[in-house]
Protein backbone atom coordinates (compact mmCIF):
# COMPACT_ATOMS: atom_id res chain seq x y z
CA UNK A 1 0.00 0.00 0.00
CA UNK A 2 1.60 3.27 -1.09
CA UNK A 3 1.71 6.35 1.07
CA UNK A 4 -0.64 9.25 0.49
CA UNK A 5 0.62 12.29 -1.44
CA UNK A 6 0.94 15.74 0.12
CA UNK A 7 2.76 18.89 -0.97
CA UNK A 8 6.06 19.30 0.83
CA UNK A 9 5.31 22.84 1.88
CA UNK A 10 2.59 25.47 1.87
CA UNK A 11 2.92 29.06 3.02
CA UNK A 12 0.67 32.01 3.66
CA UNK A 13 0.48 35.37 5.37
CA UNK A 14 -1.28 35.94 8.68
CA UNK A 15 -5.03 36.11 8.21
CA UNK A 16 -5.00 34.29 4.89
CA UNK A 17 -6.43 30.84 4.19
CA UNK A 18 -4.37 27.93 2.96
CA UNK A 19 -5.32 24.47 1.78
CA UNK A 20 -3.28 21.28 2.00
CA UNK A 21 -4.17 18.41 -0.29
CA UNK A 22 -3.87 14.70 0.45
CA UNK A 23 -4.22 12.37 -2.51
CA UNK A 24 -4.76 8.64 -2.26
CA UNK A 25 -6.58 6.01 -4.26
CA UNK A 26 -9.95 4.33 -4.51
CA UNK A 27 -8.66 1.81 -1.93
CA UNK A 28 -8.15 4.36 0.82
CA UNK A 29 -9.16 8.04 0.66
CA UNK A 30 -11.71 7.40 -2.08
CA UNK A 31 -13.22 4.35 -0.39
CA UNK A 32 -13.81 5.43 3.19
CA UNK A 33 -14.62 8.65 5.03
CA UNK A 34 -11.83 7.80 7.44
CA UNK A 35 -9.33 10.55 6.66
CA UNK A 36 -7.73 12.31 9.58
CA UNK A 37 -5.29 15.18 9.94
CA UNK A 38 -2.64 15.72 12.60
CA UNK A 39 -0.63 18.79 13.49
CA UNK A 40 2.91 18.30 14.78
CA UNK A 41 5.39 20.75 16.25
CA UNK A 42 9.11 19.86 16.24
CA UNK A 43 9.96 17.35 18.93
CA UNK A 44 6.34 16.87 19.96
CA UNK A 45 3.77 14.15 19.48
CA UNK A 46 1.19 14.70 16.74
CA UNK A 47 -2.13 16.28 17.69
CA UNK A 48 -5.40 15.23 16.06
CA UNK A 49 -7.17 18.20 14.45
CA UNK A 50 -9.58 16.51 12.00
CA UNK A 51 -11.09 13.01 11.93
CA UNK A 52 -13.66 11.39 9.70
CA UNK A 53 -12.80 13.81 6.86
CA UNK A 54 -14.43 16.88 8.41
CA UNK A 55 -14.93 16.44 12.16
CA UNK A 56 -13.05 18.47 14.75
CA UNK A 57 -12.22 17.03 18.17
CA UNK A 58 -13.35 19.04 21.13
CA UNK A 59 -11.08 22.00 21.72
CA UNK A 60 -9.74 22.30 18.18
CA UNK A 61 -10.20 25.70 16.58
CA UNK A 62 -12.93 26.04 13.97
CA UNK A 63 -10.30 27.69 11.75
CA UNK A 64 -9.39 24.12 10.79
CA UNK A 65 -11.74 22.35 8.39
CA UNK A 66 -11.58 19.25 6.23
CA UNK A 67 -13.19 18.04 3.05
CA UNK A 68 -12.92 15.32 0.46
CA UNK A 69 -13.58 14.91 -3.25
CA UNK A 70 -12.95 11.58 -4.88
CA UNK A 71 -9.49 10.33 -3.95
CA UNK A 72 -8.29 13.67 -2.59
CA UNK A 73 -8.87 15.05 0.89
CA UNK A 74 -8.07 18.60 1.90
CA UNK A 75 -7.31 20.52 5.07
CA UNK A 76 -8.06 24.24 5.10
CA UNK A 77 -6.66 26.59 7.70
CA UNK A 78 -8.44 29.92 7.70
CA UNK A 79 -7.30 33.10 9.42
CA UNK A 80 -3.72 31.83 9.44
CA UNK A 81 -1.87 32.52 12.69
CA UNK A 82 1.79 32.34 13.67
CA UNK A 83 1.25 29.25 15.83
CA UNK A 84 -0.20 27.38 12.86
CA UNK A 85 3.38 27.01 11.66
CA UNK A 86 3.91 23.26 12.00
CA UNK A 87 3.91 20.01 10.06
CA UNK A 88 0.58 18.53 9.01
CA UNK A 89 0.05 14.85 8.26
CA UNK A 90 -2.98 13.20 6.69
CA UNK A 91 -3.86 9.56 7.21
CA UNK A 92 -6.46 7.17 5.87
CA UNK A 93 -7.85 3.75 6.67
CA UNK A 94 -7.58 1.35 3.75
CA UNK A 95 -9.42 -1.62 2.25
CA UNK A 96 -6.61 -3.89 3.50
CA UNK A 97 -7.43 -2.90 7.11
CA UNK A 98 -4.26 -0.88 7.66
CA UNK A 99 -3.59 2.83 7.99
CA UNK A 100 -1.36 4.88 5.75
CA UNK A 101 0.01 8.39 6.13
CA UNK A 102 1.08 11.18 3.86
CA UNK A 103 4.69 12.43 4.05
CA UNK A 104 3.63 15.62 5.78
CA UNK A 105 3.33 19.25 4.73
CA UNK A 106 5.32 22.01 6.36
CA UNK A 107 3.21 25.13 6.83
CA UNK A 108 5.10 28.41 6.98
CA UNK A 109 3.51 31.65 8.12
CA UNK A 110 5.19 34.48 6.25
CA UNK B 1 -7.76 13.27 31.35
CA UNK B 2 -6.27 10.46 29.26
CA UNK B 3 -2.52 10.04 29.59
CA UNK B 4 -0.24 7.63 27.77
CA UNK B 5 3.21 7.14 29.28
CA UNK B 6 5.73 5.05 27.39
CA UNK B 7 9.19 3.71 28.09
CA UNK B 8 11.82 1.30 26.79
CA UNK B 9 15.43 0.96 25.70
CA UNK B 10 16.59 3.84 23.57
CA UNK B 11 19.80 2.38 22.10
CA UNK B 12 20.06 -0.95 20.36
CA UNK B 13 22.59 -2.80 18.25
CA UNK B 14 21.68 -4.31 14.88
CA UNK B 15 19.88 -7.68 15.18
CA UNK B 16 18.64 -6.93 18.71
CA UNK B 17 14.98 -6.74 19.71
CA UNK B 18 13.21 -3.44 20.28
CA UNK B 19 10.90 -3.55 23.28
CA UNK B 20 8.62 -0.69 24.36
CA UNK B 21 5.74 -0.41 26.80
CA UNK B 22 2.94 2.15 27.02
CA UNK B 23 0.80 2.60 30.14
CA UNK B 24 -2.65 4.13 29.89
CA UNK B 25 -4.05 6.24 32.69
CA UNK B 26 -7.79 6.97 32.49
CA UNK B 27 -9.66 3.71 33.13
CA UNK B 28 -11.25 3.09 29.71
CA UNK B 29 -8.56 0.79 28.34
CA UNK B 30 -10.96 -1.88 27.05
CA UNK B 31 -13.00 0.38 24.79
CA UNK B 32 -10.31 1.22 22.28
CA UNK B 33 -7.77 -0.01 19.80
CA UNK B 34 -4.16 0.77 20.66
CA UNK B 35 -1.62 1.55 17.97
CA UNK B 36 2.11 1.91 17.63
CA UNK B 37 3.29 4.49 15.11
CA UNK B 38 6.85 5.49 14.33
CA UNK B 39 8.62 8.45 12.76
CA UNK B 40 12.20 8.27 11.47
CA UNK B 41 14.20 11.46 12.10
CA UNK B 42 13.02 14.21 9.78
CA UNK B 43 10.52 11.96 8.06
CA UNK B 44 6.83 11.11 8.08
CA UNK B 45 4.70 8.82 10.21
CA UNK B 46 4.39 5.07 9.70
CA UNK B 47 1.68 2.92 11.27
CA UNK B 48 3.11 -0.32 12.70
CA UNK B 49 -0.07 -2.00 13.93
CA UNK B 50 -2.85 -2.04 16.50
CA UNK B 51 -4.31 -4.31 19.11
CA UNK B 52 -7.55 -4.59 21.07
CA UNK B 53 -8.07 -6.20 24.47
CA UNK B 54 -10.27 -8.81 22.73
CA UNK B 55 -7.12 -10.14 21.07
CA UNK B 56 -7.78 -8.72 17.61
CA UNK B 57 -4.44 -7.48 16.28
CA UNK B 58 -3.55 -6.11 12.87
CA UNK B 59 -0.07 -5.37 11.58
CA UNK B 60 1.28 -3.33 8.74
CA UNK B 61 2.50 -5.94 6.23
CA UNK B 62 5.86 -4.16 6.23
CA UNK B 63 6.43 -5.43 9.78
CA UNK B 64 4.37 -8.64 10.05
CA UNK B 65 7.27 -11.07 10.11
CA UNK B 66 9.06 -9.42 13.03
CA UNK B 67 6.52 -7.50 15.15
CA UNK B 68 4.36 -8.37 18.11
CA UNK B 69 1.92 -5.94 19.70
CA UNK B 70 0.25 -7.12 22.86
CA UNK B 71 -2.08 -5.68 25.48
CA UNK B 72 -2.18 -6.38 29.21
CA UNK B 73 -5.65 -5.43 30.35
CA UNK B 74 -4.83 -6.00 34.04
CA UNK B 75 -2.12 -3.33 33.86
CA UNK B 76 -3.68 -1.13 31.13
CA UNK B 77 -0.46 -1.48 29.15
CA UNK B 78 0.39 -1.98 25.50
CA UNK B 79 3.69 -3.45 24.38
CA UNK B 80 5.67 -3.44 21.16
CA UNK B 81 8.36 -5.93 20.21
CA UNK B 82 10.27 -5.58 16.95
CA UNK B 83 12.91 -8.18 16.26
CA UNK B 84 16.09 -8.10 14.17
CA UNK B 85 16.35 -4.32 14.13
CA UNK B 86 18.57 -2.45 11.68
CA UNK B 87 19.58 1.18 11.30
CA UNK B 88 16.38 1.66 9.25
CA UNK B 89 14.40 1.10 12.45
CA UNK B 90 15.90 4.20 14.05
CA UNK B 91 12.89 6.37 14.81
CA UNK B 92 10.69 8.03 17.38
CA UNK B 93 8.09 5.46 18.43
CA UNK B 94 4.67 6.54 19.65
CA UNK B 95 1.80 4.65 21.21
CA UNK B 96 -1.62 6.09 20.46
CA UNK B 97 -5.26 5.46 21.29
CA UNK B 98 -7.41 4.64 18.30
CA UNK B 99 -10.96 5.93 18.00
CA UNK B 100 -13.10 6.80 14.97
CA UNK B 101 -10.27 5.54 12.75
CA UNK B 102 -7.90 8.18 14.07
CA UNK B 103 -5.72 8.79 17.15
CA UNK B 104 -6.83 11.39 19.62
CA UNK B 105 -4.31 10.62 22.35
CA UNK B 106 -0.59 9.95 21.95
CA UNK B 107 2.26 8.94 24.18
CA UNK B 108 5.20 11.30 24.58
CA UNK B 109 7.35 9.27 22.19
CA UNK B 110 10.48 7.19 22.68
CA UNK B 111 13.52 7.72 20.48
CA UNK B 112 15.10 4.42 19.52
CA UNK B 113 18.52 4.51 17.88
CA UNK B 114 19.99 1.43 16.26
CA UNK B 115 23.75 1.60 15.84
CA UNK B 116 26.70 -0.72 16.12
Q: Residue B93: name the closest of B111, B79, B77 by CA.
A: B111
**pLDDT given at position A38:** 98
Per-residue pLDDT of chain B (116 residues; tens, 9 = 90+): 889 999 999 999 999 999 999 999 986 788 899 999 999 999 999 999 999 988 899 999 999 899 999 999 889 999 999 999 999 999 999 999 999 999 999 999 999 999 99
Residue B101 sits at the chain A interface (C-beta within 8 Å): yes
Residue A102 sits at the chain B interface (C-beta within 8 Å): yes
Chain B contact probe: residue of A8, A9, A38, A45 with most B CBs at under 10 A: A45
DSSP A73: E
Rounded to whole angstroms, the Cα distance separating B3 from B76 reads: 11
pLDDT in tens, A64-95: 999 999 999 999 999 999 999 999 999 999 99
Amino acid sequence: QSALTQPASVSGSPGQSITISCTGTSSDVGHYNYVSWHQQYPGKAPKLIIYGVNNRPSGVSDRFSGSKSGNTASLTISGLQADDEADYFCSSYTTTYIYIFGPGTKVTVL
Amino acid sequence: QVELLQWGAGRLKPSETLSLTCAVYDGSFKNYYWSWIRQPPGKGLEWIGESHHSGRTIYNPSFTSRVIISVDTSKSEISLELTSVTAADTAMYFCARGNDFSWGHWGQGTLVTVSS
